[in-house]
Amino acid sequence: MRKRRDPIKDTAREVRVFRARSLLAALLVLLMAGGLGARLFYLQVVEHDVFTTRSEKNRVRVEPLPPTRGLIYDRQGKLVAENRPTYNLTIVRERVQDIDATLDRLVDILGLDETQVDAFRKRSRQRQRPYQPALLMSDLNERQIARLAVNRYRLPGVEVEAQWLRHYPTPKIMSHVLGYVGRINEEELASLDSGNYAGTHFIGKTGIEKQYEKALHGQAGLRKVETNARGRVLRELERTPPEPGKDLTLTIDTRLQKMAYDLLDGRRGSIVAIQPQTGDILAMVSAPGFDSNEFVTGISYKDYQSLQENLDLPLFNRAVRGQYPIGSTIKPFEALAALQNGVVTPQEVIYDPGYYKLPNDSRHYRNWLRWGHGRVDLERALAVSNNTYFYTMAHRLGIDALSSFMYKFGFGEVTSLDVQGASSGTVPSREWKREKYGQVWYPGETLSAGIGQGYWMVTPLQLATAEATLANRGDWVRPHLAKRVGETSVEPPFKNTKPDVKLDKDVWWDDVFNGMEKVVSGREGTARHIGKGLKYDMAGKSGTAQVFSLGQNQKYDADELKERLRDHALFTAFAPVDDPQIAIAVIVENAGGGSSHAAGLARALADEWLLSDDENTHQAEELIKEDVEVEGT
C-alpha cells in the first residue's frame, strides 16, 4: 500500500495550536460558568421573592370550606327549602390514561350528551392546578351510581362526589315567593366576594333566596393544607370552620299559600294576604307557578324556552310585578279622601240617574247600572259600587288631591321590606301625565280615575298592603316575607318607614268600613253571594279592571283572544272588621266581574285563616263552584 504522507507534520505547531485553543476553551468555560452563575443569581436573589411566593402557592393550598345554606321554614315551622344530598361525577384528568376512551365509556354507561362532554372539556382546561377534579355530570341518580360502581375498576380517575343541592318540597306554589338558587354565572362571579364564595356553587337568583342571600349563604371557612404535586393532602396547617347560613322563617303560611294557589285553579292571577297588625305576608301567590327545582339542577334550554313562551307567563311574578288597573277597589280609599278633604259628609245623598255629566260637557259618564241607583249616600255607594257617586267625588276632589291621598296607602311606590323585584305601579296626576306624555290632564280623566280605570296601575301586593293599612285604620305596617332570620326576629311593624294615615275624624273609618261590610253582607252588596253563612264580619270591595289592549308578541287563536280580552276580576277584603286578622287582595285575570269571580276566593281564604277546622264548613269553595252571575263591578 502506497502511503501518502502529509508534506510536513509540525508537532510543535500542533502543541502551540492546542495550547491556544484549550486556553480559549478555558476562557469560554469560565464565561459560560459565569453566565450560569449570573442566571442563578437572578433566580435566587433578584427574583427570589417571586419564586418563594410561587413555591408557597404550590405547597400550601387554601381549600374553601363552603357553609351549608340556611333552611327556609314557613311561619308554622314547615320546611319549604331544604338541602338534599346529591352525587356528582368528577374526573381527575391526570389519573386517566386515555381520556377519550374514558369519556366514550361514560357516555355509554350514563347516556351523556355532547354538550355535557364539551362542558367537561372546557372545565378541565380551566383548572388551576393538576390533579384538580373537573365536573362531568351533576345529580346522578341511584341507577347511575350503581352502574358506575360496577364499572369502577375500568374507570380510574373517575370519582363520585357528594354535594348538597337545594330542594323545594312545594315548588309550584312557593316558586314566586322563594325564587330559586342556581349555579353562579360569570357576571355574578365578578361582583361576589370571591373569598366567601370560593367553595360555593349556588347563589340565590330570585325571590327570598336572592333577597336573603347573605344570611342564607353564611360565611365560608377555609383550611390551609400542605399538598404534594398530586394534590394529596399531607397535613392541615390551619383551619377556620365555616359559619353555616342562617335559617329563615317566613311569614308565609304554607297551608294558606297552597289554598290560595289551589283556589286560582289553573287560572292566571294572584292572591296576596297580609296580617294587618304585623305586615306579615301570609300568602303571596302568582299563578301559574313553575317548578323551581328545575332551575337548581340547571334547566334545559328547551324547557326554559317553553316556560318563556308560555302565554300564561309562569315565570312572571304577578303578585309583585303584575300591574293592573285598580278598578272599583279604589272606592273605599277614594271615599276616605273625600271625607278627609271635606268634599262630602257621610250623610250627604247624591242622586244617581245612571250617569254623570261634567258641567259644560255633553258626555255621559255611566254607572254600571244603566238606570241608576237613585239616592246614594257613602255607605250605599260603596255597597253597590256606585260609579256616579264616585265620579262626583273625583270631580270634587280633583285628580291631585285624590292621588296624593292614594300615595299615603303605599300606591305608586315600593313599600315592601324584602320582596324582590316589586314594581311601584302608577298613580296618575297632572304632573305625572305632563312628565310621562307631555300632555295636560283632562277633566274627563279625573272621572275615569275616580272609578279606578284609566292610568291607575297597582300590583296585587300594593293592593293588599293598602287594604291592611285600611284595616289598621291608617296605621302603617311594612309588608314583609321574613319573620325570623336565624334567631333574630324581623320586628314589625316597621314604624317610621311611612307616616300613618291620619283622618280628622276617626269615625270616618267606621263609615267606610260599614259600606264595605255591606258589600258582602248588605241586601244590595255586589258580593252578597259570598256573605252566605259568614261567621264573622268581613269588609270587602269588588273591582273590575278593564283590559284595554293586549301585549305585543302574543299569539292566540280566536277563542283565546276572546278569553283574554275579558276583564280582570278584583276583590279586596279584610276581616274581622272589629279586629282585623287578615287583609286580602285577589286578582283573577280575564275572569270578568270581580264580585262574581274573585270574591269567593277571598272568603275562602279568610275562612281558612279565621276559623278553626271544625268551624270551617268550606262553604266558600262551594259558592265559587256555583259560578254565580252577579251584576256590579
Q: What is the largest CA-CA distance in the chain?
A: 150
Q: Which is nearer to other proteins, 125 or 370 (CB)?
A: 125
H or E segment and range at residue 431? helix 430-437
Burial 458-494 (b: 16+ CB within 10 A, else e): bbbbbbbbbbbbbbbbbebbbbbbbbbbeeeebebbb
Q: Which CB atom, from 226 or from 510, has the smaller least distance to other proteins?
A: 226
CA distances from 217 to 38, 256, 291, 400 (A): 52, 28, 22, 46
Nearer Cβ to other proteins (30/311): 30
Contact 113, 70 (CB under 8 A): no
Strand ranges, E, within 102-228? 134-137, 158-167, 181-183, 202-204, 218-219, 221-227
CB of 28 to other proteins, least distance (A): 9
Grid look-up 325570623 returns 484
The region that residue 474 occupies, defined by phi over 0 for left and psi between -120 and 50 for alpha, beta otherwise, is: left
* Spatial contact of 539 and 333, defined as CB atoms under 8 Å apart: no
Q: Which is nearer to other proteins, 131 or 494 (CB)?
A: 131
Residue 61 or 84: which CB sits closer to other proteins? 61
* Rounded Cα distance, 593 and 72, in Å: 37
- Catalytic annotation on 448? no
Backbone angles phi and psi of 631, in degrees to 5: -80, 170
Q: Considering the complex, what minimum distance in angstroms separates the CB of residue 20 from other proteins?
A: 8
375 by DSSP, 3-state: which? strand
Minimum Å distance from CB 58 to other proteins? 5
Give the integer Cα–Cα distance in Å for 620 and 601.
7
Place of cell 285553579: 265
Smallest separation (angstroms) from other proteins to the CB of 35: 8
Which residue lies nearer to other proteins by CB, 17 or 311?
17
> Do 515 and 335 meet the contact criterion of CB atoms below 8 Å apart?
yes
Sequence length of the chain is 633
CB 202 within 8 A of CB 183: yes
Neighbours of 375 (CB within 10 A): 10
Of the two residues 234 and 561, which places its CB atom closer to other proteins in the complex?
234
Instruction: Rank residues 213 and 226 by Cβ distance to other proteins and give the closer one.
Output: 226
Q: How far is the CB of 153 from other proteins (least distance, A)?
A: 26
Euclidean distance between CA atoms 435 and 140, whole angstroms = 56
Shortest CB 37 distance to other proteins, Å: 6
Shortest Å distance, C-beta 29 to other proteins: 5
DSSP state of 504: S
Q: Cα(473)–Cα(498) distance, rounded to whole angstroms?
A: 14
Grid cell, residue 88, equals: 356528582
Identity of the residue, 54 or 562, whose beta carbon is nearer to other proteins in the bound complex:
54
In the complex, minimum distance from the CB of residue 477 to other proteins, in angstroms, rounded to a whole number: 59
CB of residue 94 vs other proteins: minimum separation in angstroms? 8
Long-range contacts of the stretch 118-126 (C-beta < 8 A, 24+): 120/91, 124/91, 124/93
Q: How far is the CB of 60 from other proteins (least distance, A)?
A: 9
In the bound state with other proteins, the residue whose beta carbon lies nearer, of 23 and 149, is 23
**Least spacing, CB of residue 110 vs other proteins, in Å:** 26
Report the helix count and the strand count for the chain, using DSSP H and E: 25, 23
Choosing from 138, 328, 385, 595, the catalytic residue is 328
- Contact set with other proteins (CB under 8 A): 6-11, 13-15, 17-19, 21-22, 25-26, 29-30, 32-33, 35-37, 39-41, 43-45, 47-48, 50-52, 54-56, 58-59, 127, 129-130, 226-230, 234
**Sequence-separated (6 or more) residues with CB below 8 Å from residue 289:** 171, 172, 173, 174, 175, 176, 261, 314
126 or 347: CB nearest other proteins: 126
Are the C-beta atoms of residues 139 and 167 closer than 8 Å to each other? no
What CA dihedral angle connects 346, 347, 353 and 358, to 10 degrees? -60
Task: State the catalytic residues.
Answer: 328
